[in-house]
Structure 1
């Protein structure tokens, strides 16, 4: 029964990972599997049989969630790109109160911590400066493209491990979101293999470091994430909606905000 619950929770994390602004890590916290998941990865070789079972249960659920909902999201983005981006913005802003509560949970406040917020904001602006260049590199053929996809997978892994940063949002900032959705739906193996290997290597290489940083310096870590998330609003913003799209854009923005705000509040109090 516990294995089935982990599998279903994995599906929920997989679906959350697909939506820019919704953090798979935050969803894992809400579902009560984040600590077990991070510990299983960071100390995998200490009890590999036990950790393998947990990772397979959650991992297969996550993969199924991604495969089931990736086509739906791709179609929605193609048909309603403007409205969908306002939904993503509502989701991104709705997650900020959760991140701020985590940044100040220890009760120790230092004005210098805001430097990390500025650093995160600056980083995301630099990453999103030339999204068309990254898209071209990802879709071209050859060794350079494979190396780039491998590095992009490592960046994606860091976003997956860190609660509060959405992996799909990271892809959106880098200009790789639509391309990756298309690769998943079309089973583009030359794209998915180096990208997937980057995710695996990045997860194994950075989980212990991220776990330690979050435990030792939670204020600084979450202020960095807040800066990153706030900076993401600029590349996601599609411009002022037309008259016909104004009401639906406002509605989905509010829905996205309320949904993730409620989930974030539930994750703190439960």
Structure 2
């Protein structure tokens, strides 16, 4: 039962990493699994068996979320943007009680409030990142190096709660090409088109290696910060989390939204909050 629960958590994290403006790291924090996953990643080379057993269901679920459900999420955001956004906001805010317990011991100090406000404003400011011109990917050593570097940077943002790796990819112009090649690889495997599958892998493997490297390096940094400055770090995370609705809704046209759509959005917000509570063991 715990394995299935962790797979579902992984699916949620995987979908979040695909959606621009939504942070997989924030979902991990909301689910109350951020610290343990960081420890599993940073301790991988010391405790390989334990780390693999811990990470496998999450990685399996993330693979399902990224590869299989990215089609569905893209359709939902295109046709039901407000309702889908509210569902993700609910998923994020369902974990607020967990975060609040990390920062509510005693009155907040000036440095803690400064970090909260600073990272809140940073998150708002990131919404003004423009969308870069789409990159054209062609297999070759130069492209492999670029994709490795892009994967490294994107993974770094994916691990930091509140910061969207997909948004960074979009700003750099790599979001659509990477998603298109993932989708093309899935279709090629289903259609038994080995040539297309290998071509897509030649582009996706360097990107994937960069992602793995970025996750490990930033996980090390976050582990250090949480170990030495836990309360300060969580105040910064809380600021990023509090700004998440602006990040998600900022990409959606809200003018002319009907009362019925708003009602559906509120209901889906509640569903998302309850789902996070259940997965985090809060309800």
Same fold (TM over 0.5): yes
Deviates more, 1:209-218 or 1:19-28: 19-28
Asked if 1:240 is matched to 2:254, the reply is yes
**1:95-116 CA distances to partner (integer Å, 9 max, x unpaired)?**
4444333222x44631220111
Alignment of 1:108-123 (within 5 A): 109-123=108-122
Q: Is the 8 A contact 1:116 1:223 kept in 2?
A: yes
Q: 2: distance between equivalents of 1:11 and 1:182?
A: 24
Q: Deviations over 1:109-150 (max 9, x none)?
A: 3122011122212322343323312xx25x334788766654
TM-superposed deviation, 1:210 = 0.8
**Structure 1 CA distance for aligned equivalents of residues 110 and 271 of structure 2:** 30
In structure 1, the partner of 2:29 is: 26
Structure with the higher fraction of residues in helix conformation:
1
User: Cα deviation per residue 1:161-202 (whole Å; 9 max; x = unaligned)?
Assistant: 45xx367x4424763797354443233546633432222011
**2:190 paired residue number:** none
Distance change in 2, residues 1:45/1:173 (3 Å): closer
User: Which deviations, in whole Å up to 9, do the C-alpha atoms of 1:46-85 show, x marking residues without a partner?
Assistant: 2334433443454234313432322211221222234323
Rounded Cα–Cα distance in structure 2 between residues aligned with 1:207 and 1:43: 10
1:5 deviates by 4.4
Aligned residues: 256
Alignment correspondent of 1:79: 79
Equivalent residue runs for 1:53-132 within 5 Å: 53-104=53-104, 106-107=105-106, 109-132=108-131
**Distance in 1 between the 2:61 and 2:254 partners?**
38
Corresponding residue of 2:208: 196
TM normalised by structure 2 equals 0.70
SS in structure 2 of the partner of residue 205 of structure 1: helix
Q: 1:151 to 1:124 in 2, by over 3 A?
A: farther
Measure, in 1, the Cα distance between the counterparts of 2:27 and 2:92: 13
Q: Normalising to structure 1: TM-score of the pair?
A: 0.73
- Return the alpha-carbon distance in structure 2 between the equivalents of residues 52 and 75 of structure 1: 33
In structure 2, C-alpha distance between the alignment counterparts of 1:7 and 1:194, rounded to whole Å: 30
8 Å Cα contact 2:9/2:58 also seen in 1:
no
More divergent stretch after superposition (70-79 vs 152-161): 152-161
Is the CA contact (8 Å cut-off) linking 1:95 and 1:261 kept in structure 2?
no
Identify unmatched segments of 5+ residues in structure 1: none
Change (3 A) 1:246 1:140: farther
Q: Shift in Å at residue 269 of structure 1?
A: 4.9
User: Unaligned 5+ residue runs, structure 2?
Assistant: 17-21, 186-199
Task: Say whether 1:259 aligns with 2:256.
Answer: no
Matched, 1:12 2:9: yes
